[in-house]
Amino acid sequence: MRMSGHEINSQLRQKLEMPTGRHLYVVLGTYERLERYERVDFREARSPTNQKLGEIVNVNHQLLERIPDDELKKLVQTEASRTESVKARLIKELDALVDERLNAGSFLALKNLEMIFAYDLEMNCLRIRAANQKHILVLLPGEKVGDRITLFHEAPSNNHRTLPTNLVPENHLWELTE
């Protein structure tokens, strides 16, 4: 559903009141709109108890920071021949990051997931962990056309990705308007 940042915040606040069920939410838009939402509207978003929701976590940076420099260097050098081990390490770190952040609080906002999609990693850990009073909001560059959600739609078509249809329910998916 296409909405303004303020309308998304209102919808999100209502969803945060739900104690049970799946709580994974996605905001779509251009990089420019997402950046503006983060800088302006998200700063005004509040929980049902009127608390600020916190900072949005940059997943790309956090994943790289979690891997020690010498190990990261080794992963980069052997990436072409050991793609599966790189994928396994990234998914392990993503799951640990999400787990740690949700253990510290009931809400987590994520941005910059390009590495996840570049390696075609499963996002099931987000869906699984976003349940029963744990809420995850993901900002993704993309647009909805019909039933399909195309990610990285501003990039050349060979870089486009499709958001899995079963990942996020329709009523947890919002697209930023101008």
pLDDT per residue as tens digits for the range 123-149: 889 999 998 889 999 999 999 988 889
User: In whole angstroms, what is the distance from residue 121 CA to residue 20 CA?
Assistant: 27
- Which two tokens mark 35? 């950046």
149, 39 contact by CB (below 8 A)? no
pLDDT tens profile 4-39? 999 999 999 999 998 788 899 999 999 999 999 999
The C-alpha atoms of residue 112 and residue 96 are separated, in whole angstroms, by 17
Helix then strand then coil, in percent of the chain rounded to 5, is 45, 20, 30
Answer yes or no: are the C-beta atoms of 29 and 176 closer than 8 Å.
Answer: yes
CA 54, CA 73: separation in Å to the nearest integer? Answer: 32
CB 84 within 8 Å of CB 92: no
85-99 residue pLDDT tens: 888 889 999 999 999
Across 158-175, average pLDDT: 89
pTM (predicted TM-score): 0.91
Helix H or strand E encompassing 162: strand 161-162
CA separation, residue 85 to residues 92, 93, 130 (Å) = 10, 12, 26
Express each pLDDT in 39-85 by its tens digit. 999 999 999 999 999 899 999 999 989 988 888 777 777 766 677 88
| Count of helix runs (H) and strand runs (E) in the chain | 7, 8
Cβ-proximal residues to 45 (8 Å cutoff; 6+ apart), any chain: 9, 12, 13, 52, 53
Show me where the domains of the chain are located.
2-176
The reported pLDDT for the residue numbered 1 is 87
Residues listed for the chain = 178
Compute the CA torsion angle 124, 126, 130, 131 (nearest 10 deg).
20
**Of 95 and 164, more confident:** 95
